[in-house]
Structure 1
């Protein structure tokens, strides 16, 4: 009789650990072509590698990616252990407003799945990175972000790259947007992974002081 081989899965039954969801909301419009998109791809690989160094984060942190230019979801929510960084390509315009709505809908849908399966979860993070300004209607997205933050539904962060419209980002995010120093995506994602690892080691519902964005933020 041949021995059966059981492969691990990403399901709740096999991994009932609390989940720490993070949506990377990434601008891949045409203006990101060249060095910016290459640096962004390298940074996402760095994010994966940093999470892989923490066995608990591998079980608890869930990653999803929404890109805009045009809007796509190359990665739906998956634990860090199964997360495979996609190779992003720069193209299209910057439909940031619609992309934000997509991310918010994904977060609410995932939280409903946690609740239906009795899985505890941390407040989701939505991490927006853009090098420009929205080319679509974005005021309703801004209102949704601010209302969701006020209700504690998620934490929204905005990072501006090179020629990003920081004034618009300040109207969308309740937190002060941060300007990336050059193309230091690897340092940014190292900070993000360290932050997610800290959150995943805490008790759901507690508030943590995040490390300052040193090494990647423009001053």
Structure 2
């Protein structure tokens, strides 16, 4: 069975401390539980999680859905938002992780990338340098999530195909976001092989589709 790689880049900067990161942890658990109830997703989906604050960390390497143990995501008391560093780490992981198609065999399906942040990248130059590199990696969709009032559309536009926004950073908002991510991944796992960009499901009322 060909794999569907899914990469989650999660902001763990100081401003995510407290209720926001607790809501993210709850949302991740709900997402994994829901995906495991989808037989096709269970066979194809592999997930990796990268967090970013003052540094970027691979907290979950690309792992089959049925083997994935979701760790508790934590944040420092304060610190910057090094999204550029996370993209740099992502590009390195893609070179290691992805099975590319050859004349002799079919490789992975085009991967998905979800980026969630509540602020502007602190490492602006590194972020700007890596946006075009990431976009050349052949993702089926790159989806950004702006969490809270300080995150701005223009900061993610160079990277993402689609951007959604959450007006609040409470558990209800993050649960809605991760449930929508679940639907997107599950739909992607069933539509692999279609030509062109994989369509996104309609977001719930708590999520605004920006682009």
Q: Partner of 1:103 in structure 2?
A: 90
| Structure 2 counterparts to residues 3-152 of structure 1, below 5 A | 17-69=1-53, 70-91=55-76, 92-112=79-99, 118=105, 120-136=107-123, 137=125, 138-148=127-137, 152=138
Q: Partner of 2:144 in structure 1?
A: 158
TM-score in terms of structure 2 length: 0.85
Give the distance between the partners of 2:72 and 2:174, measured in 1 at CA. Answer: 15
Give the distance between the partners of 2:166 and 2:18, measured in 1 at CA. Answer: 17
Secondary structure of the equivalent of 2:167? coil
1:134-157 deviation digits (Å, cap 9, x = unpaired): 111221012223444xxx345211
Is the 1:123–1:205 Cα contact (8 Å) retained in structure 2?
no
TM-score in terms of structure 1 length: 0.82
Secondary structure of the equivalent of 1:215? coil
RMSD: 2.3
Secondary structure of the equivalent of 1:108? helix
Q: Partner of 2:207 in structure 1?
A: 217
Unaligned runs of 5+ in 2: none
Is the 1:121–1:204 Cα contact (8 Å) retained in structure 2?
no
Unaligned runs of 5+ in 1: 1-16
Secondary structure of the equivalent of 1:191? helix
The list of structure 1 runs, each at least 4 consecutive aligned residues, that deviate by more than 6 angstroms after superposition, is: none
Deviation of 1:180 (Å): 1.5
Q: Which has the larger radius of gyration?
A: 1
| Structure 2 counterparts to residues 130-209 of structure 1, below 5 A | 130-136=117-123, 137=125, 138-148=127-137, 152-162=138-148, 163-173=150-160, 175-183=161-169, 184-207=173-196, 208-209=198-199
In the superposition, relative to structure 1, how do residues 202 and 166 fare at CA in structure 2: closer, same or farther (>3 Å)?
closer
In the superposition, relative to structure 1, how do residues 213 and 108 fare at CA in structure 2: closer, same or farther (>3 Å)?
farther
1:151-207 deviation digits (Å, cap 9, x = unpaired): x3452111111121322112332x242111323111111111112112212343544
